[in-house]
Structure 1
């Protein structure tokens, strides 16, 4: 079982993003999520983390499991990963941003801005966010990093069987 979750909350053409104040990805825009606690399922974790970090309660909204992101070192050893979720807010929900929280700054960002190839202010989202938001399939997004934390390889594999989440 992976240790983390992440959720990309969409409303119209924007995604609610968090610019984190602490590692990992400090200073970069990323989705909302965190560490799975105790006997939580990934879905229970992501619902709790979204509520804690944004105040939004996603129960009753369209929350979908979209796959995993797994991280490897140069020797091919797994160093972690996260379960990825996508949530769709109705147009009637008003969530004004920017909002400063203990975790960082929340703000709505346009999808095209987030995945722009020259955008250096986001986590490694350009490799998978468009697929997570626009497609229905579930994938494993595999990232290999060198010893300095630089991405040296990325691949995407279709998940044939969804884990119990």
Structure 2
């Protein structure tokens, strides 16, 4: 089983007379989310949030901070991450990936491309769900609105996961996470 993270930085787009965007004061004020177009690996060519696999003994928060910095150059204080979800992905009846989902409105720096990802600020209402994992349209809108979720998503057809068929899901909304890594 793979343990992984996703991180969704959110900001308020520039208004009249403003030269640049700023992190939002809270999720409800955000109107843009930072997505990446994957350049390699699982989901190559698809959009998602920055993230990846936990390494060694790092916590999910540490992983989300590290992966976001490696992929797009943003600096995030682990304390500024809000746990938004826990997603379990099954492949042919077996747990394939357990993903910790975080969001944040506090970060430093401007996103820059890397070998792994091309970052892009996208309007929360314009997220390209047709270029994302099929399950994303079921849970990501709620996460971007400030809700929390626990979800299970089943795929069948064998490796690789991004070519398997999405067969079912189970969602539980507005979860309280007590130990969020």
What is the TM-score of this pair, normalised by structure 1? 0.82
**Larger CA deviation: 31-40 vs 47-56:** 47-56
Quick check: 1:103 aligned with 2:116?
A: yes
In the TM superposition, residue 28 of structure 1 has moved relative to its aligned partner by 0.6
Structure 1 gap ranges (5+): none
1:144 paired with 2:154, answer yes
Q: Give the alignment partner of residue 172 of structure 2, picking from 153, 157, 165.
A: 157
Matches within 5 A, 1:51-70: 51-59=69-77, 62-70=80-88
How many angstroms apart in 2 are the aligned matches of 1:35 and 1:60? 16
Q: Which has the higher helix share?
A: 2
RMSD: 2.3
Aligned length: 156
Unaligned runs of 5+ in 2: 13-30, 158-162
Matched, 1:47 2:65: yes
User: Is residue 89–residue 97 contact of structure 2 (8 Å, CA) maintained in 1?
Assistant: yes
Q: Which aligned pairs between 1:1-165 and structure 2 lie closer than 5 A?
A: 3-12=3-12, 13-59=31-77, 62-74=80-92, 76-89=93-106, 95=110, 99-114=112-127, 119-123=129-133, 124-136=135-147, 138-147=148-157, 148-158=163-173, 159=175, 162-165=178-181
